[in-house]
Amino acid sequence: MKELFFANIPASVGVIGLIAYFFGMAAVFIASPVKNAESFSIKPADNAGITEIRVYYGGISFALGAFLLFLAAALKTPVYSLYGGLFFSTTVFVLRTVFLFKDKGWKCPYTRLAIPAEAFFCVALWTCFILSKALY
């Protein structure tokens, strides 16, 4: 693992951040789906909805984090995992920003938190990407 980290330090930092984010989201949504989903303005209609929150928000988050870890280990470089994380985070941020206006979600407390947090995360990941290219 140590060799993998030092293969490209900026990419490794970005991937560690991504994996921590995805595993953290998985833990939060699997452990307490209703409470956390409601903070995202999502409310399940019934018990099947609770399962869907656990599966899609928790399960897919876990799978994404595990896949990025697997990809870095299998290819012996964190660079491609960082690419995947950039696709994911940039797509989420751009779509949230676009639909913020269409859906008029700017008044929602979650959106006021999500936009700056996702912008910061994207800038941090793109900085890791640029540094990984410049230094390695």
Cβ partners under 8 Å of residue 61, min gap 6: 22, 23, 25, 26, 29
Tens digit of pLDDT for each residue in 78-132? 999 999 999 999 999 999 999 998 998 888 888 888 999 999 999 999 999 999 9
Cα-based distances in Å from 44 to 51, 57, 125: 9, 13, 32
Give the integer Cα–Cα distance in Å for 44 and 35: 10
Q: What is the mean pLDDT of residues 15-43?
A: 95
| Three-class SS state of 71 | helix
Tokens of 44: 């399940």
> Is residue 12 pLDDT above 90, yes or no?
yes
Tokens of 55: 């599966």
The per-residue pLDDT for 134 is 97
